[in-house]
Amino acid sequence: MGSVGVLFLFVSLYVGLLMDVSTAQMPGFVSLDCGGTDNFTDEIGLFWSPDNYMLSGEIANISVANETRKQYKTLRFFPADNNKYCYTLNVVSRTRYLIRTTFLYGNFDNNHVYPKFDISFGPTHWATIVISDANTIESQELIFLATDPAINVCLSNATTGQPFISTLELRQFNGSIYFNQYENQFFLSLSARINFGAESDTPVRYPDDPFDRIWQSDSVKKANYLVDVAPGTEKISTRMPIDVSGDERPPQKVMQTAVVGRNGSLTYRLNLDGFPGTGWAFTYFAEIEDFDPSDTRKFRLVLPGDPELSKAVVNIQENAQGKYRLYEPGYYNISLPFVLSFRFAKTSDSTLGPLLNAMEINKYLKKSDGSADGPLLAAVTSAYSSAEWAQEAGDPCLPAPWSWVQCSSDQQPRVTSIKLSGKNLSGSIPAQFTNLDGLVELWLDNNSLSGSIPDFSGCPNLKRIHLENNQLTGDLPASLADLSSLRELYVQNNMLSGEVPSALLNKNLFLNYTGNAGLHKGSNGGNHKKIIIGSSVGAAVLLIATITACILMPKGNNSSKQGKLQHGLPTQKLASSLGDTAAEAAHYFTLSEIEDATKNFERKIGSGGFGVVYYGRLKDGKEIAVKILTNDSFQGKREFSNEVSLLSRIHHRNLVQFLGYCQEDGKSILVYEFMHNGTLKEHLYGPLTHGRGINWLKRLEIAEDAAKGIEYLHTGCVPSIIHRDLKTSNILLDKNMRAKVSDFGLSKLAVDGASHVSSIVRGTVGYLDPEYYISQQLTDKSDVYSFGVILLELLSGQEAISNESFGINCRNIVQWAKMHIESGDIQGIIDPSLHDYDIQSMWKIAEKALMCVQPHGSMRPSISEVIKEIQDAITIEKGAEGVREGSSDEISRHSVHSSLNLGSLDLGASEHYLSIDDSIARPTAR
Ligand SMILES: *[C@@H]1O[C@H](CO)[C@@H](O)[C@H](O)[C@H]1NC(C)=O
Ligand SMILES: *[C@@H]1O[C@H](CO)[C@@H](O)[C@H](O)[C@H]1NC(C)=O
Ligand SMILES: *[C@@H]1O[C@H](CO)[C@@H](O)[C@H](O)[C@H]1NC(C)=O
Ligand SMILES: *[C@@H]1O[C@H](CO)[C@@H](O)[C@H](O)[C@H]1NC(C)=O
Ligand SMILES: *[C@@H]1O[C@H](CO)[C@@H](O)[C@H](O)[C@H]1NC(C)=O
Ligand SMILES: *[C@@H]1O[C@H](CO)[C@@H](O)[C@H](O)[C@H]1NC(C)=O
Ligand SMILES: *[C@@H]1O[C@H](CO)[C@@H](O)[C@H](O)[C@H]1NC(C)=O
């Protein structure tokens, strides 16, 4: 009886299977041996099943000394990328469960880099798993009331190493001991479940505890776990049965042991994982000592700083109405610090000291509501339940979005982009899509969708709609013209009919409706401001180039804000100047103007991949850099114009500003702002160092600037732009030593929607992404690789390639740095010219740099993640600089204190974590 259906799903592109687990075990138990291959029953009688239908992730075998349990011989690990990897388990709604995940690293990747990643429970961030020892099992446990028929546990956001999981255990509760009035908004996350007076170090669990809770022994030695034990603390135990009947009370075995304070008190200190915060805390007492009827045992709980809590007196026999019976006072809503010091002290009229059998402390974990669009997308994926793309489990946006979805960064995210191009969709366009009111882009092209185009007025923010290459019928709804943000509408190659509504023709809109035999332009259509690609495609290629150029469609709020700040014009303005040709969009310099400015190309200031650069000064005094392109860079005039048109539309504070161009006398010339302080390369190794290099903080700021420029190319431009040749000589510094990226945009645009652009390998030795080199498949992660090399150069002051610096058989900074960093020797690579720096910030950058130069693009972080890390490093470095400069003792002492302060049980201070009600001081007994 009681077979439990378990559904395994995963993020990547395969199909999840419905799986029936076990009959030979407790009803409502699921025990997954991640990475395992067989079913088995372990020595305590739990039935384990493998997670071998997970098609994402990989299996590793590990071997850890003294760990013989089969479920810890294997694990499953996942790529360190932006996706989430989810397990889905079926549950019974309105039932309480315990779910436990465990993690035993065992150096499975032979990397000795301790992984750090997040786990989430549905859309709720559950915990950050930080491995700090290869042989210690990390564990997380939640108690929850199921509200849906399925739950998801997802791994994501690896900041070091690769996310992995050893076991996933689900235990169904029977009664209601964990019932509480907050359970619709909060989960209970386990911090401590302790069996006092335990007879061995082995925890008590199944089958002694029928719900397989794990009661840790109080004799286990681990850091800051039950220390400060008062003298006179003694263990006692009994073989007498203890009445623990009903609900999920602690098992008899736990209640049969206890500690007593012979000297009148029991004192302990322990670290509460997850706190400070508000929690659920219960103590479990049973009188198990035989004593003379003239003796009494009465005591109080004492928490330093909280006299209110000490008022209640415990008299176990009286409270439990007899010996060997359970009494369980507790608090449903109590603020606790991270370092909990607690004491039980006998009352003055009591002859015996206090007694304690067990305690349990959980923290309230606020549930996330998930994306506002979650239910709509769930309806879509369940309608396509057999399609690969519909298998990604969990919330569409949290903690990481599905691969075909993009979301806003709001507290409760909205879906902003749906990309289901070429996914074999058939039937009509899912109606749910027309209710996504945050939707900006919808890509449903190249499918077999039929039926008519629905009314999209429920998506007022739509900017681009791709419906081309389907089998849509009916007319082109005039309501599309009411979408005020709509700028691109692709409906070509369908079976649409009727007239193109004049409202659409008159809208400032890129509209392609070719290949619809029955669809035609009305007689009164159109004026000249708009762009229509009708059945004649003869229109200037330049126009198309213009439309695909950057800036037109900044993604997300940030970049559009930046767009406005940078050039003072709202992006809309650029959109309406679409009719301009490239030549009109970019400033044209005459050759004689340029010859005057450069005094006939007198001062050469550099030469790069595309040509030689000269210094110049315009008549108005503005200093410029003039790049004469080598002849073979741009054969055709048209190609040159396309590039220029693109360049003139890329504006960002961290990109060298393009001022104009010139094409005369067979010369193709680009004019840029002049950057006073030359290239980063010169500052790191060149003549500009003058023996005094730039300090670490400055280097971090330069890295941040450059990364922001790259981020803009990758994410602020549609289609995104891959630089392809990032290196220290392409990072230029202005008067104030702020960095800008140069030489961008001279390469092919990344093709939007495709994951890579195949093109002839271009780049610079030492910075070249090995994956790109081998496969010739270019992605934005190729830039991330090059940027990782730059980070290593900033750290080490070494050039990317060197014949001498890196020792025998090593010419490459990546190999050299990897070897040192992974063996923990960061000092071995730090630039000797750097003196004052914070080693933490160095480590942050070193670890991120290694992530950037991972052999496979999919394992590298996005440039945006790199920026976050650099910013963290800057914060650390600034803090440390403050300490070095200022009253260093004061500050460093302060920072040590702040963690100790938690020990003083400052209940007021944790108010902002959660404020459920004011009845904190009222103990509750069940
Ligand atoms: C494991 O057990 C389940 C249910 O008892 C069964 O369906 C499945 O085939 C078993 N798998 C293996 C690999 O033995
Ligand atoms: C793990 O060990 C099993 C049995 O020893 C073996 O069949 C399997 O190939 C190993 N898997 C890996 C990934 O090493
Ligand atoms: C393994 O167990 C043995 C015997 O109990 C002990 O001596 C040894 O220190 C343990 N090793 C580890 C790594 O815990
Ligand atoms: C990813 O992890 C880092 C470090 O633990 C954290 O700062 C960041 O907020 C996390 N990102 C997300 C999206 O949860
Ligand atoms: C669950 O509750 C039922 C009915 O109250 C009871 O028969 C059963 O023994 C309980 N199971 C456990 C494990 O306590
Ligand atoms: C419009 O669509 C047709 C058919 O796909 C295509 O050949 C043409 O290039 C498109 N026009 C523009 C300007 O994109
Ligand atoms: C950067 O350029 C400015 C102006 O030319 C100059 O004053 C300053 O010394 C330069 N900084 C460095 C570090 O070279």
C-alpha 352/C-alpha 53 separation (Å) is 58
Q: Bigger pLDDT: 478 or 533?
A: 478
pLDDT for residue 234 is more than 90: yes
pLDDT of residue 321: 85
Closest CA to 732 of 869, 582, 613, 571: 613
Q: What's the token pair of residue 321?
A: 């109405």
232: left (phi over 0), alpha (psi -120 to 50) or beta: left
Tell me, using a 6 A CB cutoff, whether residue 676 lines ligand 7: yes
pLDDT of residue 671: 92
pLDDT for residue 556 is more than 70: no
C-alpha 494/C-alpha 497 separation (Å) is 9
Q: Is 438 helix (H, G, I), strand (E, B) or coil?
A: coil
Say which residue the tokens 């669990």 belong to: 205
- Atom from ligand 2 closest to the CA of residue 74: 1
Q: What's the token pair of residue 666?
A: 């067979």
- Atom from ligand 4 closest to the CA of residue 128: 5
Bridge-based pairing of strands 924-925 and 488-490 is unpaired
Q: For a pLDDT cut of 70, what percent of the chain falls above it? A: 81
Q: From edge to edge, which strands make up the β-sheet containing 464-466?
A: 405-407, 415-419, 441-443, 464-466, 488-490, 510-512, 531-533
Tell me, using a 6 A CB cutoff, whether residue 537 lines ligand 6: yes
C-alpha 382/C-alpha 16 separation (Å) is 13
Q: Which residues pair with 512 in a beta bridge?
A: 490, 533
Q: Within 13 Å and on the Cβ side, how many CA atoms surround 691?
A: 0
Return the minimum-mean-pLDDT range out of 346-355, 566-575, 595-604, 650-659. 566-575
End-to-end distance of the chain based on CA atoms, in angstroms?
Answer: 32
CA of 130 to the centre of ligand 4 (A): 12
Q: Is the dihedral of CA 636, 640, 643, 645 positive or negative?
A: negative
Best-predicted range by mean pLDDT (464-478, 574-588, 723-737): 464-478
Sequence-separated (6 or more) residues with CB below 8 Å from residue 674? 615, 616, 623, 624, 625
Tell me, using a 6 A CB cutoff, whether residue 869 lines ligand 4: no
Looking at residue 554, what DSSP letter applies?
-
Q: How many angstroms from the chain centroid is the CA of residue 321? A: 53
pLDDT of residue 689: 59
pLDDT for residue 747 is more than 80: no
CB atoms inside a 10 Å sphere around CB 159: 20
Sequence-separated (6 or more) residues with CB below 8 Å from residue 458? 434, 435, 436, 437
Q: Is 477 helix (H, G, I), strand (E, B) or coil?
A: coil
Give the confidence band of 224 by pLDDT, cuts at 50, 70, 90: confident
Tell me, using a 6 A CB cutoff, whether residue 95 lines ligand 5: no
Please say whether the beta carbons of 790 and 726 come within 8 A: yes
Q: How many angstroms from the chain centroid is the CA of residue 510? A: 35
pLDDT for residue 345 is more than 80: yes
- Average pLDDT score over residue span 581-585: 45
Give the confidence band of 199 by pLDDT, cuts at 50, 70, 90: very high
Task: Report all structural domains of the chain as residue ranges with CATH numbers, in order of start.
Answer: 21-187 (2.60.120.430), 193-363 (2.60.120), 404-552 (3.80.10.10), 573-673 (3.30.200.20), 680-880 (1.10.510.10)
Q: What's the token pair of residue 159?
A: 């900041």
Q: For a pLDDT cut of 90, what percent of the chain falls above it? A: 52
Task: Print burial letters for 186-219: b (CB count within 10 Å at least 16), e (below 16).
Answer: bbbbbbbbbbbbbeeeebbbbebbebbbbbbbbe
Q: Name the residue of 61, 72, 73, 77 to mutate for ligand 2: max ligand atoms within 8 A of Cβ.
A: 61
pLDDT of residue 769: 85
Give the confidence band of 8 by pLDDT, cuts at 50, 70, 90: very low
Give the confidence band of 886 by pLDDT, cuts at 50, 70, 90: low
Q: Which residues pair with 606 in a beta bridge?
A: 613
The three-point CA angle 779-781-787 to 5° equals 130
Ligand 2 pocket, Cβ-based, cut-off 6 angstroms: 59-61
pLDDT of residue 532: 43
Burial of residue 133, with CB atoms counted within 10 A of its CB: 0-12 exposed, 13-18 middle, 19 or more buried: exposed
Tell me, using a 6 A CB cutoff, whether residue 174 lines ligand 5: yes
Q: Which residues pair with 448 in a beta bridge?
A: 426
Residue type present at position 759: S
pLDDT in tens, 110-132: 988 899 999 999 999 999 999 98
pLDDT for residue 634 is more than 60: no
Q: What's the token pair of residue 96?
A: 């309480």
pLDDT for residue 445 is more than 90: yes
Residue-wise DSSP of 10-31: -SSSS--EEEEE-SSS-TTEEE
CB atoms inside a 10 Å sphere around CB 153: 24
pLDDT for residue 912 is more than 50: no
Tell me, using a 6 A CB cutoff, whether residue 492 lines ligand 6: yes
Q: Name the residue of 82, 83, 118, 126 to mutate for ligand 4: max ligand atoms within 8 A of Cβ.
A: 118
Tell me, using a 6 A CB cutoff, whether residue 1 lines ligand 3: no
Q: Bigger pLDDT: 889 or 630?
A: 630
Q: What's the token pair of residue 706?
A: 């450059």
CA of 36 to the centre of ligand 2 (A): 9
Return the minimum-mean-pLDDT range out of 267-271, 364-368, 520-524. 520-524
Torsion of CA 216, 221, 227, 229, to 10 degrees: 80
Three-state SS across 639-657?
A: HHHHHHHHHCCCCCCCECC
Q: How many angstroms from the chain centroid is the CA of residue 340? A: 31
Annotation-wise, does 627 bind a ligand? yes
83: left (phi over 0), alpha (psi -120 to 50) or beta: beta
User: Does the N-terminal peptide bond of residue 115 adopt cis geometry, omega within 30 degrees of 0?
Assistant: no
C-alpha 209/C-alpha 169 separation (Å) is 15
Please say whether the beta carbons of 255 and 242 come within 8 A: yes
Q: What's the token pair of residue 426?
A: 């058939």
Nearest CA, atom 1, ligand 2: 61
CB atoms inside a 10 Å sphere around CB 185: 13
CA Rg, the chain, in Å? 33
Give the confidence band of 690 by pLDDT, cuts at 50, 70, 90: low
Give the active site residues: 725
pLDDT for residue 717 is more than 80: no
Tell me, using a 6 A CB cutoff, whether residue 690 lines ligand 7: no
Q: Is the dihedral of CA 783, 785, 789, 790 positive or negative?
A: positive
- pTM for the model stands at 0.60
Give the confidence band of 585 by pLDDT, cuts at 50, 70, 90: low
CA of 503 to the centre of ligand 6 (A): 21
- Average pLDDT score over residue span 484-490: 94
C-alpha 643/C-alpha 658 separation (Å) is 12
- Average pLDDT score over residue span 605-612: 76
pLDDT of residue 866: 94
C-alpha 417/C-alpha 407 separation (Å) is 7
Say which residue the tokens 């999209």 belong to: 456
Nearest CA, atom 4, ligand 4: 159
Closest CA to 799 of 825, 759, 831: 831
- How far, CA to CA in Å, does 887 sit from each of 652, 696, 840? 39, 21, 20
Helix axes 780-796, 696-711, angle to 10 degrees: 170
C-alpha 232/C-alpha 361 separation (Å) is 25
pLDDT of residue 541: 32
- Average pLDDT score over residue span 809-813: 82
CB atoms inside a 10 Å sphere around CB 39: 13
Looking at residue 134, what DSSP letter applies?
T
- Average pLDDT score over residue span 608-633: 83
Nearest CA, atom 8, ligand 6: 537
Residue type present at position 401: P
Q: Name the residue of 117, 157, 866 to mutate for ligand 4: max ligand atoms within 8 A of Cβ.
A: 157
pLDDT of residue 635: 52
pLDDT for residue 586 is more than 60: yes
pLDDT in tens, 376-433: 999 999 889 888 899 888 899 999 999 999 999 988 999 999 999 999 999 999 999 9
Q: Within 13 Å and on the Cβ side, how many CA atoms surround 924?
A: 14
Give the confidence band of 174 by pLDDT, cuts at 50, 70, 90: confident
Nearest CA, atom 13, ligand 6: 533
pLDDT of residue 176: 73
Tell how many helices (H) and how many strands (E) occur in the chain. 18, 49
Q: Bigger pLDDT: 621 or 524?
A: 621
Say which residue the tokens 């790109």 belong to: 772
C-alpha 892/C-alpha 901 separation (Å) is 14
Q: Which residues pair with 817 in a beta bridge?
A: none
pLDDT in tens, 273-304: 888 999 999 999 999 999 998 999 999 999 98
| Helix, strand, coil distribution of the chain in percent, nearest 5 | 25, 30, 50
Bridge-based pairing of strands 426-427 and 448-449 is parallel
pLDDT in tens, 54-79: 878 999 999 999 899 999 999 999 99
Average pLDDT, the chain: 81
Residue-wise DSSP of 272-285: -TT-SEEEEEEEEE
Element (H, E) at 787: helix 780-796
Say which residue the tokens 């004492």 belong to: 302
CA of 59 to the centre of ligand 2 (A): 8
Please say whether the beta carbons of 500 and 526 come within 8 A: no
